[in-house]
Homo-oligomer: A and B are copies of this chain.
Amino acid sequence: MPRRSQAEAARTHDAILDRAVTVASTHGLEGLTIGRLATDMRMSKAGVIGHFGSKERLQLEALDRAIDDWRAAVWDPVAHEEPGLPRLLAIARRWSEFLGDCPFPGGCFLTAASFEFDDRPGPVRDRVREALALWLRVLAADARRAGLDDPDQIAFELNTIAMGTNSAVRLQEDPTAARRCRRAMERVLTR
């Protein structure tokens, strides 16, 4: 295959990332391999890695892509809601829907990455941690605005519910998980 134009190369880059996010959602960011990605994309390994320089940078770009996707799916639809309890309730609804019917075949990418890298120092872990910490601050800020007691505890609880729900959906294949998730979150918010 000959060289493509720069515009086409950018599309190739994107397509590789799409595939990377899909594969990593089930096999993990570490289980993601250049060779498999190359086969899937009908490219050479060198052609794939050439777009990123190293596997770690590929992992980081895939992670950023997944974060963007997540924000677009969960945060953007509710960002316009009134800050405080109304927005928290909207988040509870949207978040649990997202977990119950996830766009990635392996469930929530960020939850999986959290557990995969929680004990492995490096830029991937740092990035996951940063994204999660930001989200916890967003939740706590709205909880404070809503006048709820101990906003950090509220944020903590909402996040644990979401992570556990991912497991209930994927591992236990519990069809009621999304409903239970929303119910649990609403209980936290309205007690």
* Residue ranges of A at the interface with B (Cβ–Cβ < 8 Å): 25-28, 30-31, 105-107, 111-112, 114-120, 125, 128-129, 132-133, 136, 152-153, 156-157, 159-168, 170-172, 174, 177, 180-181, 183-184, 187-188, 191
Residues in B with CB closer than 8 Å to A31 are: 30
**Nearest chain B residue, comparing its CB with the CB of A133:** B172
- Asked whether B129 lies within 8 Å of A171 as measured between CB atoms, the reply is yes
A180-B163 contact in complex given A28-B28, A115-B112, A115-B115, C-beta closer than 8 Å: no
- Asked whether A153 lies within 8 Å of B184 as measured between CB atoms, the reply is yes
- Asked whether B133 lies within 8 Å of A105 as measured between CB atoms, the reply is no
Residues in B with CB closer than 8 Å to A191 are: 187, 191
- Asked whether B26 lies within 8 Å of A119 as measured between CB atoms, the reply is yes
Among A26, A132, A168, A191, max chain B CB count under 10 A is at A168
**Nearest chain B residue, comparing its CB with the CB of A179:** B153
- Asked whether B133 lies within 8 Å of A156 as measured between CB atoms, the reply is no
**Nearest chain B residue, comparing its CB with the CB of A180:** B156
Jot down 19 A-B pairs with beta carbons below 8 A, ordered by A: A26-B119, A105-B119, A106-B119, A107-B118, A118-B170, A119-B170, A125-B171, A132-B172, A133-B172, A153-B180, A156-B164, A156-B174, A156-B177, A156-B184, A157-B180, A160-B167, A160-B181, A161-B161, A163-B163
Among A27, A117, A164, max chain B CB count under 10 A is at A164
- Asked whether B172 lies within 8 Å of A168 as measured between CB atoms, the reply is no
A132-B171 contact in complex given A112-B115, A156-B184, A191-B191, C-beta closer than 8 Å: yes
**Nearest chain B residue, comparing its CB with the CB of A26:** B119
Give the distance in Å from the alpha carbon of A59 to the alpha carbon of B159 in the complex: 30
